[in-house]
A and B are shown apart, each in its own frame.
Chain A
């Protein structure tokens, strides 16, 4: 078996092994270290000596042994410190009570929810999820977020300490907490995706593919929560957005707006999967923001040309989205849909009030205003808006795109 396939297998097993250990022995923080060491041992041994008959069993055994060592060391240290606290060592541990069946899927869900606990800040939730459930190493996560490894290690260990200190029970949340906890979980996966998606080609040379990792985790969440329409919606949204990635940048890393993208480059398998997911969940009711955004993405992806886009349908979906999740970015996108259906003037009226909240919108507000003014034929104001947007943007591809738009509107001879 090659190194790459072993790695895939290990990453798939990582959350199962960790949740099995925590379910049996507790000690989330120490168990997480033990599992990382077991994964490392497997990554070295398996490609050389072959994959054991039961890879999951092998990892649980090795990780349990390691956990015992770590807890013993901790216990000895505590004894030296005259601390009366005693740990339950794995060999003293008895079978779980019969009323607590440990289904592997449930355990992974519990683990995901624990990593995305609302007591942790988003940066900690993301790091812990990628390590404990995604099975990425601290070094890989650090590279993905462009921070030093020591910083990421601190972030992860602080998060683990926090979980340990607050002694959250290792179990599913109460029915009352469940919706909010699941919403946080999906939001964390969404943040991982957007972090990966916004990376431009030039900067991605040494970065793990976070968008692909987010899709893998969203797929897992959808499998664990087959009845949750928002989990399905989130997976669909990621697939339908990521499908356009090959066409989003030109050969030089320059940004290409959707209307000008070469649609033959779009990933048809992802589109088909995303569309199937949305089509399946939308009629089930309880429509949430991820499903609506996925439905909008599906309409874009299914249009054979930019001109053939079903803008009236997209506008109707944005109106629904505004009702349940009103924020400046949704308003901007809604305004674009209004412009495509009712013309640029109606849209300009909608975005003008957003200037009061400019800090929430950044350069995108000016860029979209530029597009709307250009549509309306006011080239002088459009050019000014593009130039203002370029000044506010910090990424070079965005700046070059906006300057190019401005240049096209330059009066002849300038």
Chain B
């Protein structure tokens, strides 16, 4: 069974990671970014080695998003449709494992993701795990 683990972040979180200084959000130092990458890489590598890894992608900052929506029957494109503090999908990892509980356990390990002491204020870590509906997948 395949599960998608979804991670979220706001434009403000992205800016802090990208080193954009602002009054209210502390930025990440090079060491802190390196620690984050090392943690994510080892989390990922364990899944590759256990044979549970399927795919993973990270998304560019929400400011690069475009939204297409119908207005009066005409598709209209909006650049950067999210508010600075709005938490949107930042990336996902797909795993194939024996049970929902096992997928949950994998996702729970992310709770130890390192971050600068002052960053991430205002919210605790969270991630979502959702089963993938494979019955609906088109024939490969």
Contacts and interface: CB of A to CB of B under 8 A. Distances in A.
A394 B37 contact: no
Interface in A4-31: none
A399 B63 contact: no
A414 B22 CA distance: 9
Contacts of A150: 140
A396 interface: yes
A57 interface: no
Contacts of A410: 21
Contacts of B61: 394
A399 B37 contact: no
A205 B34 CA distance: 15
B10 to A, nearest CB: 15
Interface stretch (B12-20, B96-104, B123-131): B12-20
A404 B37 contact: no
Given A205-B41, A250-B30, A252-B30, A403 B19 contact: yes
Contacts of B111: none
Interface in B1-50: 17-21, 27, 30-31, 33-34, 37, 41, 45, 48
A400 B18 contact: yes
Contact of A399 (B20, B21, B30, B34): B20
B121 to A, nearest CB: 20
B17 A390 contact: no
Nearest to B57: A146
A391 interface: yes
Contacts of B34: 251-253
Contacts of B55: 148
B64 interface: yes
B19 A399 contact: yes
B18 A399 contact: yes
Which of B18, B21, B27, B31 is the most central at the interface, judged by chain A CB atoms within 10 Å of its CB?
A: B18
A375 to B, nearest CB: 22
A283 interface: no
A106 interface: no
B132 interface: no
Contacts of A403: 18-21, 27
B31 A252 contact: yes
B72 to A, nearest CB: 28
Nearest to A414: B21
Contacts of A253: 33-34, 37
Interface string A142-159: 000000101000000000
Nearest to A401: B19
Nearest to A399: B18
B59 to A, nearest CB: 10
Nearest to B33: A252
Interface in A392-414: 394, 396, 399-400, 403-404, 407, 410, 414
Contacts of B18: 390, 396, 399-400, 403
A254 B30 contact: yes
A396 B37 CA distance: 11
Interface in B45-99: 45, 48, 55, 60-61, 63-64
Contacts of A404: 19
Contacts of B63: 391
Contacts of B64: 394
Given A150-B140, A391-B63, A394-B61, A400 B37 contact: no
Given A148-B55, A396-B33, 12 more contacts: A202-B37, A202-B41, A251-B34, A253-B33, A253-B37, A254-B30, A390-B18, A394-B64, A396-B17, A399-B19, A403-B27, A407-B19
Interface of B: 17-21, 27, 30-31, 33-34, 37, 41, 45, 48, 55, 60-61, 63-64, 140
26 contacts: A202-B37, A202-B41, A206-B48, A252-B30, A252-B31, A252-B33, A252-B34, A252-B37, A253-B33, A253-B37, A394-B60, A396-B17, A396-B33, A399-B18, A399-B19, A399-B20, A400-B18, A400-B19, A400-B30, A400-B33, A403-B19, A403-B20, A403-B21, A404-B19, A407-B19, A414-B21
Interface of A: 148, 150, 202, 205-206, 250-254, 387, 390-391, 394, 396, 399-400, 403-404, 407, 410, 414
What are the 8 closest A-B residue pairs judged by CB atoms, nearest first?
A: A399-B18, A403-B19, A252-B34, A394-B60, A400-B19, A252-B30, A403-B20, A202-B37
